Amino acid sequence: MDFKTEFKPLTVQPQEIEERSFEMITEELGEHPFTEEQYPVVQRVIHASADFELGRSLVFHRDAITAGIKAIREGRPVVADVQMVQVGISKPRIAKFGGDVRVYISDPDVMEEAKRLNTTRAIISIRKAILEAEGAIYAIGNAPTALLELIRLVKEGAAKPGLIVGVPVGFVSAAESKEELAKLDIPFITNIGRKGGSPVAVATVNAISLMAERLG
Amino acid sequence: MDFKTEFKPLTVQPQEIEERSFEMITEELGEHPFTEEQYPVVQRVIHASADFELGRSLVFHRDAITAGIKAIREGRPVVADVQMVQVGISKPRIAKFGGDVRVYISDPDVMEEAKRLNTTRAIISIRKAILEAEGAIYAIGNAPTALLELIRLVKEGAAKPGLIVGVPVGFVSAAESKEELAKLDIPFITNIGRKGGSPVAVATVNAISLMAERLG
């Protein structure tokens, strides 16, 4: 193709960029309250957001990392709330253990049912997920209504997720949904406040799948 | 399907959630330096990030909004740096004018060429884009190297984008690449500092396509 020869190369090593970024984060973050196993998640979230306040706002259930690694190594699916989260999550490490990364929010039956019930597609996609994705890791970066519905189903005993990564961003219900999540005694990773979003959910799952892979 | 009848409905109006969020943003932001035509972008960026500091850090070339609306109404393509940006951008409003939303970073020829030149796929994807996407809107949320390459090609006269939305996030080169962009006298939207990311690029393009649509 034309673009191959028209311009002279500009050498940049992607691996070096990432390593240097991680060093800067560790240096600037300084003291923090996170455990050694939680820290890779914090580091990747700060890397993805350039936001130390957001990184420091992360909250982990005591079993979160262990449960997340276990779910990935057992080949459980990862359920994303939206497509941006689905495409961002690194697939090969999850596929290696037999898992996949799914998103139900644009499925025709989900869209139809949401319209019929006059509710959000996010809510209906969670109802579909708990029936189709046993023991999944839920990666919720956008939809507080999805997280609230998942919490409700956990409380009712209808959902038993392997791990909930609940980090929706926003002004209406986001912070509140995360406060509710933090009250559950099941494996979760969340953060305090309005901030969050797809890159935070993606960074969290990617950090956990890297840890799962490094166990060999 | 089973999930349709198992649980009772929970009524939440997506449109109401968005409207209430926008009201809260306007109220909390208070005084700001943006023009009436720039404000919808600022509002959507804050909505997507819950970060007023990030919203306030936006910088607009004086022709940015006009040029962005014009590019969309002329059916120019939108080139995303990564898939997360590509999937996040609302397609129907762009397609209505004949445009599409593209991403070249995972094209086999791009991957092969990046390997051969020992450089980033992001850089090579920009070299491909300028040959294939005349007058495009560039939406760069992740890769500073992509933005730096685009700036270099603009300076060389090889690229003539309709609008550059350059908001990469990160610790290495992100802030610097945006400073370079802000020196160009061509239509751009960027922000000051390390923050940015896919949701910021997506929110910016979506705000502009909404304005383009509302012109009728």
Residues of B in contact with A1 (CB under 8 A): 109, 113, 128
Rg (CA), chain A: 18
Min CA distance, A118 vs chain B (Å)? 6
Q: Decide if A153 and B198 are in contact by the 8 Å CB cutoff.
A: no
Q: Is 90 exceeded by the pLDDT of residue B15? A: no
Give the pLDDT confidence score for residue B16 in this predicted structure: 81
Q: In this complex, which of A11, A153, A194 lies closest to B50 when CB atoms are compared?
A: A194
Q: How confident is the model over A138-162, as pLDDT tens digits? A: 999 999 999 999 999 999 999 999 9
Q: Decide if B50 and A83 are in contact by the 8 Å CB cutoff.
A: no
Active site positions of A, annotated: 47
The share of chain B scoring above pLDDT 70, in percent, equals: 94
B97's tokens:
């004018």
Q: How confident is the model over A6-15, as pLDDT tens digits? A: 555 455 677 7
* Contact indicator for A170, A114 with CB cutoff of 8 Å: no
DSSP assignment of A141-177 equals SS-HHHHHHHHHHHHTTS---SEEEE----SSSHHHH
* Local confidence band at A1 (pLDDT 50, 70, 90 cut-offs): very low
Residues of A in contact with B143 (CB under 8 A): none
Sheet strands side by side (includes A188-191): A58-60, A188-191, A163-166, A137-140, A78-80, A101-103
Q: In this complex, which of A47, A127, A197 lies closest to B49 when CB atoms are compared?
A: A197
Q: Is 60 exceeded by the pLDDT of residue B195? A: yes
- What structural domains does chain A harbor? 59-214 (3.40.50.10230)
Q: Decide if B50 and A131 are in contact by the 8 Å CB cutoff.
A: no
The mean pLDDT value for B187-194 works out to 98
Give the pLDDT confidence score for residue B165 in this predicted structure: 98
* Local confidence band at A216 (pLDDT 50, 70, 90 cut-offs): confident
Q: Is 90 exceeded by the pLDDT of residue A3? A: no
Average pLDDT for chain A: 94
Q: In this complex, which of B14, B123, B127 lies closest to A6 when CB atoms are compared?
A: B127
The mean pLDDT value for A123-134 works out to 96
Q: Decide if B47 and A10 are in contact by the 8 Å CB cutoff.
A: no
d(C-alpha B159, C-alpha B150), whole Å = 7
Q: Is 80 exceeded by the pLDDT of residue B8? A: no
Taking CA atoms, A164 is separated from A70, A152, A159, in Å, by 13, 13, 11
Q: How confident is the model over B58-106, as pLDDT tens digits? A: 999 999 999 999 999 999 999 999 999 999 999 999 999 999 999 999 9
